[in-house]
Amino acid sequence: MCDGEGVTSRTPAEKPLRADAARNRKAIITAARHAFAEQGLQVPLDEIARRAGVGEATLHRRFPDRESLIAAAFNDKMTDYADAAAQALADPDPWAGFCGYVRQVCAMQSGDRGFADLLTLTFAATNPTIEDLEGHRARAYRDFVTIVRRAKTSGQLRADFHPDDMILLLMANAGVVAATAGTAPDAWQRIVEYLLQAFASENARELPAPAPRGALLRAMHRSQQTPV
């Protein structure tokens, strides 16, 4: 598994990278993080290689596909994403925990277009290199279900809020972030606060039935494969 700093955690059978190979790997990950943050996950791999000061062949030798590069670039941030849910559970005020988690995740989206893409994307193909990312996502979702249940039990979160509504919120926030990043980069905060007010039980009005989870997940895919 990648530790995000240019050196991989290895099984005993794996050989450590040569110093020059390790430097190249670290440079590629750093360049990928910056490029993904600025342009999203669609950024061409040849641009990442150029930014890293390596050839495309070197990039593909270290990362044979886009998924493995995404996993290396975002492993630490997805860990933070999952940890944010655990921290929200530790808040003694269930409503404050719920709101704090929503704000924190949306803030993470706002500063990184690639991360915004990642939160609204699931991978169609099974790939061992992304298992950690999906594991962090699953851990965050399990904790969020508990966060929602606690906030409902406290009487502060509207009773018809469904955990999958977070998928809609993230997709909406990602769209606002992408549209306003160059002109009004803080605009996402206003839409998030509007939504949090709508989630409060005191403002509850009858809503349409939620979309099926499968339909929401298909919408998150946006395509059946990540870009190559």
Stretch 146-151: mean pLDDT = 97
What is the pLDDT at residue 185?
86
Q: Which residues contact 136 (CB under 8 A, 6 or more apart)?
A: 78, 79, 81, 82
Residue 224's pLDDT is what?
33
Q: What is the mean pLDDT of the chain?
A: 83
At residue 179, the pLDDT reads 85
Q: What is the pLDDT of residues 91-126, one digit of tens each?
A: 999 999 999 999 999 999 888 888 888 887 766 555
Kindly tell me if the per-residue pLDDT of 206 is higher than 80. Answer: no
Tokens 């005993």 — which residue?
A: 12
Query: What was the pLDDT predicted at 13?
Result: 45
pLDDT band per the 50, 70, 90 thresholds, residue 10: very low
pLDDT greater than 60 at residue 8: no
* pLDDT tens profile 60-100: 999 988 988 999 999 999 999 999 999 999 999 999 999 99
**2 beta partners:** 8
Residues 131-159, mean pLDDT to the nearest whole number? 93
Please report the domains of the chain, with CATH numbers, ordered by start residue: 16-64 (1.10.10.60), 74-223 (1.10.357)
- Write out pLDDT tens, residues 152-204: 999 999 999 999 999 889 888 888 888 887 888 889 999 999 999 999 998 76
User: Average pLDDT for residues 27-35, to the nearest whole number?
Assistant: 96
Higher pLDDT, 19 or 138: 138
Residue 216 has what pLDDT? 63
| Torsional sign, CA 71, 76, 80, 86 | positive
Residue with tokens 């409503």: 95
pLDDT of residue 180: 86
Q: What is the 3-state secondary structure (H, E, C) of 160-175?
A: CCCCCHHHHHHHHHHH
C-alpha to C-alpha distance for 213 and 161, rounded to whole angstroms: 14
* CA dihedral sign of residues 31, 174, 107, 185: positive
Q: What is the pLDDT of residue 220?
A: 56
